[in-house]
Amino acid sequence: MDENDLGTKLDRIVLTEKEIRDRIHELAAEIDRDYADRDLLLVGVLKGAVMVMADLSRALHVPVTVDFMAVSSYGSGRRSSGVVRILKDLDESIEGRHVLVVEDIIDSGLTLSWLVANLRSRGPASVEVFALMRKPDALVADVDVRYVGFDLPREFVVGYGLDYAERYRNLPFVATLTSEAYDG
Ligand SMILES: O=P(O)(O)OC[C@H]1O[C@H](OP(=O)(O)OP(=O)(O)O)[C@H](O)[C@@H]1O
Ligand code: HPA
Ligand SMILES: [Mg+2]
């Protein structure tokens, strides 16, 4: 799919490929400064954070290691169930490590507040959060986010890792959907 021809299922572009790329590079420069003398572990939250993890990790100059967790609170729908399940845990211990959780989006905040508490209980040196997108109006759980790419209005978006019923993750940009996309 193409930024100039959205077809019948994509409604409106919310973030272009260039906006995403430029913002990730800005935040990567901040992270480079903040973690200059630290051993940084990036923890990506599958599946949504795959794109941002690939691009952020390559924009960083500090040495990093990378691990992934899979948790699910949305299932295939458009609402968070609030119940978080670990589908895949980290491969390594994070004891004594500086952890940066890499998320695509914070919507209700339920996934992340649960995840940060879970990681803090494992004895890391620090836990901070990077989120490419955040919906401030949707937050029901309090989360302290160190690096935020974009604050978005409260509407469902897809692309750049984000899905609706597992589709649209591979769009290089972020967009809203038309009612036709929700109908089938
Ligand atoms: O702030 P919240 O309301 O909790 O929503 C944010 C979470 O929801 C999405 O994941 P999802 O559970 O859909 O899994 P996915 O990444 O595999 O799509 C997204 O990637 C975040 O992890
Ligand atoms: O707006 C969204 N789109 C896709 N997945 C999501 N998970 C939380 N919010 C969203
Ligand atoms: Mg999802």
The one-character DSSP state at 92 is S
Amino acid at 46: L
User: Which ipTM value was assigned to this complex?
Assistant: 0.97
Q: Using DSSP, state whether 30 is helix, strand or coil.
A: helix
| pTM of the model as a whole | 0.94
User: 85-115, pLDDT tens digit by residue?
Assistant: 899 999 999 999 999 999 999 998 988 999 9
Low-confidence residues of the chain: pLDDT under 70: 74-82, 184
In this structure, which topology does domain 17-155 adopt according to CATH? Rossmann fold (3.40.50)
Q: In the prediction, which pLDDT does 78 show?
A: 57
Q: Which two tokens stand for residue 38?
A: 């630290």
Residue ranges with CB less than 5 Å from ion ligand 3: 74, 163
User: Domain extents for the chain?
Assistant: 17-155
The one-character DSSP state at 112 is H
Q: In the prediction, which pLDDT does 177 show?
A: 97
Question: Does 101 sit in the ligand 2 pocket, CB within 6 Å?
Answer: no
Name the residue of 68, 105, 135 to mutate for ligand 1: max ligand atoms within 8 A of Cβ.
Answer: 105
